[in-house]
Amino acid sequence: MTTLASAPVLVDIRVEMNDHWTMTVELHETKETRHLVAYESTRIRNTLASLPVGARVPIEMVRAGSRSNVWKAVALHGRRVSPPDSSATTAN
């Protein structure tokens, strides 16, 4: 059974890629957390691995597992990735 990719969604990088090629992203609009564990290509994996926490990028994803919150990045969209917002401040 093949799972079709979703439409591109804008995600914020929450945890940078680790030594096991896993990273945590948050859907910008809904704040849903997803764990990227697989990549359609080395180019996609390397591009995502180069991003810092807070970067924002549009990604197409498909589920990588049937019972957990793990995802495969199948495409990146847009020419530029937004850098982290250095002007944001935290209210206490």
Backbone φ, ψ for residue 66 (5° rounding): -90, -20
Tell me whether residue 89 is in a domain: no
- Is pTM beyond 0.95? Reply is no
Please report, for the domain that includes residue 36, its CATH number.
2.40.50.140
Tell me whether residue 20 is in a domain: yes
Tell me whether residue 63 is in a domain: yes
Q: How many domains does the chain have?
A: 1
Which of these, 39, 34, 41, lies nearest to 15 by C-alpha position?
34
What would the mean pLDDT of 60-80 be, rounded to a whole number? 87
Average pLDDT value over all residues in the chain: 85
The predicted structure's pLDDT at residue 90: 39
The rounded percent of the chain whose pLDDT value lies above 90 is 70
Coil vs helix vs strand at 8: coil
pLDDT tens digits along 16-52 = 999 999 999 999 999 999 999 999 999 999 999 999 9
Domain that holds residue 66: 9-76
